[in-house]
Amino acid sequence: MIRDFVMTSNKQLTTDKIIFLDRDGVINRDSTDYIKSRAEFEFLPGSLEALKFLKLNGFTTIIITNQSAVNRKMIPEEELAAIHALMRDTVSASGGEIRDIFFCPHRPEEGCNCRKPKPGLIYQAQKRYQIDLSTACMVGDSAKDIECARSAGCGCAVLVRTGNGISADKILAEKKIVPDHVADNLYEAVRWLL
């Protein structure tokens, strides 16, 4: 049964089942050249099914993503918005739902607080939706995602092996950060969560 999410006047979500997802390498194929257009955006196998299962099981899905291609002048913010609209529309047509998308447009050297591994984007989502982070889960393909989840105080952090997931092991081991689970892809991560 699909659960509709009704928001209260202070925007608090009526479910405590919150999942934060990285975008590139988790939902769609990543690229060392960045995803700069709708034509370059390609869903990973199983990701649409995973997003559908999340909705069917009462999860609220929020995207947390670094998109430095914006400040690198490789993609205008309008095209990023169009990519996100395409992603949301396709997810919705497949039975899933993305409640919101928080992105950091900054390059690493800009030293912002919103670029993962810093937890600024998760804190923005927490403030907007009054989220209890201790019950939230973050799924990502890089060490930055897992470190971000730990810094923000998320109750669960899952590493997927798509995207940068394989190289993340060494970085996480060096930092002594351990994910709660490692899955081959988003579909398997969602199966574990459920």
Q: Could you give the count of Cα atoms lying within 13 Å of 91 in the half-sphere of its Cβ?
A: 27
Q: What is the value of pTM for the model shown? A: 0.91
- Containing H/E element for 187? helix 186-193
Token couple for 30: 């990543």
Residues annotated as catalytic are 22, 24
CATH code linked to domain 18-193:
3.40.50.1000
List, for residues 158-190, the tens digit of each pLDDT value: 999 998 877 898 999 999 999 999 999 999 999
Whether the upstream peptide bond of residue 117 has omega within 30° of 0, thus cis, is yes
Question: Of 13, 10, 7, whose CA–CA distance to 132 is shortest?
Answer: 13
Residue 8 pLDDT greater than 60, yes or no: no
Torsion of CA 69, 75, 77, 81, to 10 degrees: -100
Residues 6 or more apart in contact with residue 80 via CB below 8 angstroms: 67, 69, 70, 103, 105
List, for residues 30-87, the tens digit of each pLDDT value: 999 999 999 999 999 999 999 999 999 999 999 999 999 999 999 999 999 999 999 9
- pLDDT for 15: 62
